[in-house]
Chains A and B, each alone.
Chain A
Amino acid sequence: MKTTNLQPIQTGFIFGAVNVFLVLIGFNAMIGSLLAKALGEQVLTALPPLQFLAAFTGLMGLWSGIAAARKHSRARIAGDVLAGLLSGLAAGAVTFVFCVGIGWLLTNKIDIRNYLTVLSFDFINGVLMRLPPLIGALANLGILAAAGAAGGLLYGFIQSSKVQQMGQQILALTRSTTEKMKRLDHGRRRLALQLVGVAMAGAAVIFLPLNWGSYWNYVAGTVGLYVILGLGLNLIVGLSGQLVLGYIAFFAIGAYTMALLNSPVPHNLMLGFWPALVLGVLLAALAGLLLGLPLMRLRGDYLAIVTLGFGEIIRILLKSDALTDFSGGPRGIQNISGPTLFGRPFNSDIDFMYLIAISVALAAFVYNRLQLSRPGRAWLSIREDETAARACGVNTTRYKLLALALGAAFAGLAGAIYASRNQFTGPEEHSLMASINVLSLIIVGGLGNIPGTILGAFALKGLPEILREFSNYRLLTFGALLVVMMLSRPAGLIPSKRPQYKIPQESEPDESHVEGKNVS
């Protein structure tokens, strides 16, 4: 018994440390405010009402209890409750020590906000629930322990036979329906389903921008541009397996081509949107080709670091004073003129939204065709094993270059539209963080497939806009999310499926023939 009781305590200590960390970055106040808003209460100060701060502590305790009970599941509910209680107590002990510490700061009036920004006296008071330090610390401990036990109870209840049976029934039901759906998928029915899906998406794309307001059009447009970027990077990373970390450099080339050709300030060329768009795409592709030529001998990580260096070179060059006359320097380029179509200027976000939607559709179409064609299969073979691919007669150099150039072209397209829509582009928009964002987006969504890319773009670019309170903690959560995703779902939210050969069935010779053609 002794060893088994130690495990929940260990879990509890970890949760206690996490709780202290979250309090130190003010995460509890943010969650508390969110909770208060969700319940329709007005939050006027940075600190939400006390009960919501306590609710955050309770949630942490609940989580720790569930985790401890799950980590070593016992048959009986009592055992789960004990595990939850122990972990809650351990978490409470850590928090207790912390609370005594900040209580000491409060009673001695030592202001350390210069070092730990969150710890204002008001905030400390809130954490201690406006009680004297020792009692406040004890209250925290009590909440955590009680919530831990509750978590254990909850877990035990869910695990107990009745609820589990219900869960299994639901699981069986969903499984059978998905099986039915899969059988439906074959042949013409599948086509019909796809058509309906496309029609619905098309209707949404056509009608939503009109009724959305400019803010949501702007957000959706950004998501769309990131979908294009993600598809381009997917060609390079997802299909051909070349890790490129400086991908945003190609985006920058597209954006700056558009900016330099269509802005009055550095050159006053005013070439017009469409020629600049084509030029931007071509220049980006050319840059991809030129970068690729000397580097094709390099393996994964080396290629990653070299392309990272290339991206930084482009950014620093754009920023430098030496090239201010050419590229606008650190202040970037302003007043980029927008496109005109048949004499009608694009002057609202709705127009751009349509342009972006068409571009996304085009990019998705091209990506899909490439994926299923000869280059796509060549890329997959290179990704799986380059040596074997070469031995099978795949010209690896050529196909790797092709992937890099095409991916760069996608980025050039996105960059050109981006610069034109924002009427501004500057060097800091093209930092390494942006490259990493795109890479994370395709990996979180699922490497190498279109739905995954779209989902990833929504998750990483769209969600943060919706959760505005969250903005301070966005990047922190994003980093933690990346780690957690890699630990739990390394293939992404929507894992890629390769076309597989299905053994032809006697009854449907025609369809199996069609299936056979798709085999890589």
Chain B
Amino acid sequence: MNETLPISIARKGANVLKYLRPVLGAVILIFIIYRLIQTLLIQETYGPETWTRLVIAGMIIGSVYALIAIGYTLVYGILFMINFAHGEVMMLGAYTCFFVFEALKNIKVGADHSLAFSNAYPVISIIIAFILGMSVSALTGFLLEKVAYRPLRQAPRLVPLISAIGASIFLQNAAQLLFSPQLRDVANPQILARGSGWKILINNSSVTIPYTGVFTFLLSLILLVSLYFIVQKTKFGRAMRAVALDKKTASLMGIDVDKTISLTFLISGALAGAAGVMWGLHNSMVYYFTGFIPGIKAFTAAVLGGIGNLPGAMLGGLFLGIIESVGPAALGIDFQLKDVIAFLLLIVVLTFRPSGLLGEVLAEEKI
């Protein structure tokens, strides 16, 4: 007979949840504080030089996450779909980076034809890599939307997601079959050689701030800021925001909705391509699976910051990067478990703030 009294049951369910959440929060908080005190004050496992290293690494990877997360957030803000293949778009950018530097390494210049082009003109080479990488990825994003998502715009929400998953699997395996499953090393120009960087002394041990890392961090900051201006100040940005708010009304106001969506995919693809080139320069490991984990992490970052929210995605990316780099050390657990920390963080944030850290920019009725 309980079934006929839904209201009382609903209340009972709500009560359970009401108590569960604070209790869960308290348990997590106590655990974190306990581990922090243990590692920081009692055991003093790591000195300040290690913490500096970890924070630097976290900021670098976080800025890459932020660039990819922007793509997720832009697309989600407009189409309300997870562009699952976005990580693969980034992977193609990383492959382009590898091929460009490989080609430029083999072009010899100089008096006796002994100097590689990428070492003789490093700035030009890097610019070429970025332009090519960004255009390849932008084109991929554009085609992806045109082939796999555009015909499904009116479909139920699961359908484009599955299509995106399919596209993601397709791109991964196409890359594997084309370029072989081998792990590739990007041939950096000498001025951005991996492992070289400014050395600072902390606690009598030297901490390297890698050039590639600084380069990555600064460039992604520049890209993020310029994107923010594009979205906020230009005519196209205004059109994009209008389409995100309401497609029908936007089209009545004379905005070409299809073109705006295509351009959004171009921009998010270009940013993912830049992230891919940076990944190639900084981490060097380029293979067909490169984009997958960063893609998922970046989506996590976008959700953390509040999806649809540009500053949220940037902040979420940096936050996630630093947390997953510092977290294992701070909590005194194995470094293998950094992904566990990233995903646990996601679960915890969504349990207590379902709209993300900065709040999503979405109206309820559109979902």
Contact = CB atoms under 8 A, between A and B. Distances in A.
Given A317-B340, A395-B13, A483 B163 contact: yes
Contact of B9 (A24, A116, A309, A395): A395
A117 interface: yes
B339 A312 contact: yes
Contacts of A305: 82, 299-300, 303, 346
Contact of A482 (B16, B163, B300, B344): B163
Given A293-B20, A313-B343, A486-B160, A300 B367 contact: yes
B138 interface: no
B300 to A, nearest CB: 7
A293 B165 CA distance: 27
Contacts of B161: 243, 301, 304
Contacts of B152: 486-487, 490
Nearest to A476: B173
Contact of A395 (B6, B155, B166): B6
Decide if the interface of chain B is mainly helix, strand, loop or mixed: helix
A440 B21 contact: no
A500 interface: no
Among A305, A320, A486, max chain B CB count under 10 A is at A486
A26 B178 CA distance: 9
Contacts of A374: 3
Nearest to B342: A309
Contacts of A439: 162, 165
A482 B165 contact: yes
Decide if the interface of chain A is mainly helix, strand, loop or mixed: helix
Contacts of B342: 309
Interface string A471-508: 01101101111110111001000000000000000000
Among A21, A298, A395, A475, max chain B CB count under 10 A is at A395
B147 to A, nearest CB: 7
B170 A397 contact: no
Contacts of B303: 302, 305
A398 interface: yes
Among A296, A313, A394, A485, max chain B CB count under 10 A is at A313
Contacts of B300: 305, 309
B354 A302 contact: yes
B342 to A, nearest CB: 8
B344 A25 contact: no
A26 B339 CA distance: 36
A398 B177 contact: no
Interface stretch (B37-45, B54-62, B330-338): B330-338
A304 B158 CA distance: 11
B329 to A, nearest CB: 14
B358 interface: no
Contacts of B337: 316-317, 320, 322
Interface of B: 3, 6-7, 9-10, 13-14, 16-17, 20-21, 24, 76, 80-82, 99, 102, 147-148, 151-152, 155-163, 165-174, 177-180, 296, 299-300, 303, 307, 333-334, 336-337, 339-340, 342-344, 346-347, 350-351, 354, 367
Nearest 9 Cβ contacts at the A-B interface: A482-B166, A479-B170, A479-B169, A309-B343, A393-B6, A25-B177, A476-B173, A486-B163, A117-B180
7 contacts: A115-B99, A243-B161, A296-B17, A305-B303, A313-B344, A320-B340, A473-B173
